[in-house]
Amino acid sequence: MNPAPNNNELLSHPPIVSREEWQRARDRLLVKEKAATQARDALAAERRRLPMVRIEKDYVLDGHTGKASLLDLFEGRRQLIIYHFMFAPGVGGWPTAGCPGCSMVVDHMGPLAHLHARDTSLALVSRAPLANLESYKQRMGWKIPWYSSEGTTFNEDFGVSTPEGETFGLSVFLRNGGDIFHTYFTTDRALEAVDTNFTLLDWTPFGRQEAWEDSPAGWPQSAPYVWWRRHDEY
């Protein structure tokens, strides 16, 4: 792991130019950034037109107010986002703490009132017993509803518990009266859209400082994941 250089250690860096030349370079990059934004908009439009799968199974999860059906997680709203949080045997931190990477993602899920204003609920679901979830939730200071799928096939049915182990992901559901439909699932780097740490770091000269990035020679870099911590462990 290369340590972050001090002001005297930048042996290699991009050219130093006038403000006018910088603005011209910035304007050229802005054209590409706008194209990327428009491409994301087009992708989102296609996503909104994906076919849906009707949920036929009656799932019963454990929540802070008792047993809860999948319909209960909507809290009366039309849309539901579930983050499949890795908190189970075999995951780092077990049994008292959840996955550090999942924890970083949830740290960036702000007040839910903004989602609620668009008829959308958000909840976390994990395999750990409810008592473990509630204890860790209090430690992290989170307010998001968290449900235990212990004793159900929920995680297996949505592909986040496999014979190879646990993984994470995000599912979206739509409610039409009492009928529930699974409309979307994503995982891996797609969840970086939630974790704004990465977006903010991508705007800096050093970037994420991870070895896979294409950065100027001499920029500080380490392997991915190794620097991630729960927010109270740095």
pLDDT digits (tens, 9 = 90+) for 74-92: 999 999 999 999 999 999 9
Could you tell me the pTM of the whole model? 0.92
In a domain? residue 27: no
In a domain? residue 92: yes
- Give pLDDT, residue 10: 64
Q: Which residue has the tokens 């799968």?
A: 53
- Give pLDDT, residue 34: 98
- Give pLDDT, residue 12: 77
Task: Kindly state the tokens that stand for 199.
Answer: 């977006």
Question: In which residue ranges of the chain is pLDDT below 70?
Answer: 1-11
In a domain? residue 224: no
Contact present, 144 and 124 (Cβ < 8 Å): yes
Burial of 210 (0-12, 13-18, 19+ CB in 10 A): middle
In a domain? residue 2: no
**Count: domains in the chain:** 1
- Give pLDDT, residue 13: 84
Q: Which residue has the tokens 């995000």?
A: 170
In a domain? residue 19: no
In a domain? residue 107: yes
In a domain? residue 83: yes
The boundaries of the domain holding residue 68 are 53-191
- Give pLDDT, residue 1: 45
Terminal Cα-to-Cα distance of the chain (whole angstroms): 16
In a domain? residue 36: no
- Give pLDDT, residue 123: 98
